[in-house]
Structure formats: C-alpha cells, structure tokens
Structure 1
Amino acid sequence: MTTAGEIMHRGAQCIPITETLDRAAQLMREMDVGCLPICDSSGRLAGVITDRDIVVHCVALGREPSRVTAEDLAQGTPVWIDVNADIEEVLQVMENHRIRRLPVIENKRLVGIISEADIARNLSEEQVAAWAERVYAR
C-alpha cells in the first residue's frame, strides 16, 4: 500500500496567517512553487494560498498585496490528508474537493504537500489519466 507520506514532497513551508500577499508571492518565486500552506501561530494548518488566489482575489480586484494578509484569503476549513492515508484516499480527497495540491499532516503538523507532479511520478499513466479526468472534467 502506497501512502501519502511516500509520495508527498517533504519540506513544504508554511506562511504565517499574518504575512502579506506580496511576501507570499516572493516566497513562491524563491521556492518555485505555486502554492503555500497557511499556518496559524501554533503551526496548525489554516488554509492554502495559490498564485492564482493572489491574482484573482487581490490584484484583479485592485487590492494592494502589501496590505492583504494570507489570513484574508484563507476561507473555510482547510482540506488535508494524514501522512498514513493510502493513495486511493489521497486521490478521492483531491477528486471530491477538485484540488490539485493537498497538504499532508502528521501529529497535527504540516509535514509535506502532494501535488499533481507527485501523482504523475507515482502512479501509472492510466491511473493519472483517470484521476485527471475526474478532477478536471466536472
């Protein structure tokens, strides 16, 4: 059984809820990633912010990225998966929520993130195609 912990990208870096979106964008550029998990002061996952979120929910609305915080864009309950969850559960969660990046939690702390690239590297072409169809086709 393949688990979330086996396919995830370790070392995902959280951005504090109080950090501004311009700093989030800088971190994304420096790390060459398209999303950052958002964590509260105790290190617990509070959400995920993507480069698209910054553009659509801040810049395109004429808001100033240096004045909008990650917390301002963190809405609802974050979706995550336990490090020991099997790959089928990972795929199901991503499909159900139509998400392309999934934070991985162990002992209530972020330990990694699973992206589309991680899925592609660890599944057969047929499995990736079936998953992509379910996530994107709706």
Structure 2
Amino acid sequence: MRELNVGALPVSDGNERLCGILTDRDVVVGCVAAGHDPARVTAGDMAKGAPRWVAADADVGEVLQETRTHRIRRLPVIDDKRLVGMISEADPARHLSEDQIATWAGTVHARTAEG
C-alpha cells in the first residue's frame, strides 16, 4: 500500500475473482492495534465479508447508490467476472454538481448509532 500510495487493495482468488478488499484501516485496526504480527497475517485473513462491486457498464447513478446504500468509499469495478478497476470516493465528484456531491458525501460519511 505504501509503495503504491493507495488506501485499499483488492484481494482475488486463484481465478482472479474478487473475494475481498483490504484497506489501510483493516491493517491498522484489525491487525496492528489488535496486537497481531503484520508479517504473519495474510490479506486473506483480514479481507472478510462479501465485497460490494459494480459492473463496468454501470452509470454514475448506480455507483452512487451502491456507495450510499452500503456506506463504502471504494468500489471495485468488474467486467466478465474480473476486476478491471476501483472507484474511489473522489471519482464520482467529477460527474456531479456541488449539491449532488454534498448530499452523496453526507450519506456515505454519516455516522451510525454505533459510530
């Protein structure tokens, strides 16, 4: 992550099918802060749950809906069952008005009752 200057990495299986996403927060909170040795914990150990994704031909509305509904900041793009890209929270902003950006960001970053 440091070498690539990214905050998230997709995790795929042997057939190049997406099976998770590992974020910098996952490493810090789920590994380092929990007292685990980062040299011994694998990406597969930390990438839990079913990843959310959009098809390569999805429009901006679908991207916004998926990120808003699941309150996620990074969204893999899949074409023919293979990862072809990653949309970060800054990417949709290039296609939205200022009002749309404010509404969308407020939803994605809203605090929950637990948080």
TM-score (norm 1): 0.77
Distance 1:33 1:122 in 2: 22
1:119 to 89, 92, 109: 92
Q: What is the deviation of 1:122?
A: 2.6
Distance 1:102 1:128 in 2: 17
Any gaps of 5 or more consecutive residues in structure 2? none
Q: Which residue of 2 aligns with 1:49?
A: 22
Question: Deviations 1:94-114 (Å, cap 9, x if unpaired)?
Answer: 011110000000000000011
Distance 1:125 1:30 in 2: 33
Distance 1:86 1:121 in 2: 13
- Between the aligned residues of both structures, percent identity stands at 61
Distance 1:136 1:65 in 2: 28
Q: Which residue of 1 aligns with 2:8?
A: 35
Higher RCO structure, 1 or 2 (CA under 8 Å, sep 6+): 1
1:87 to 50, 60, 64: 60
RMSD, matched Cα:
1.0
1:135 to 101, 108, 115: 108
Q: What is the deviation of 1:121?
A: 2.4
Q: Which residue of 1 aligns with 2:82?
A: 109
**Which amino acid is the alignment partner of residue 100 of structure 1?**
R
Q: Which residue of 2 aligns with 1:99?
A: 72
**Number of aligned residues:** 111
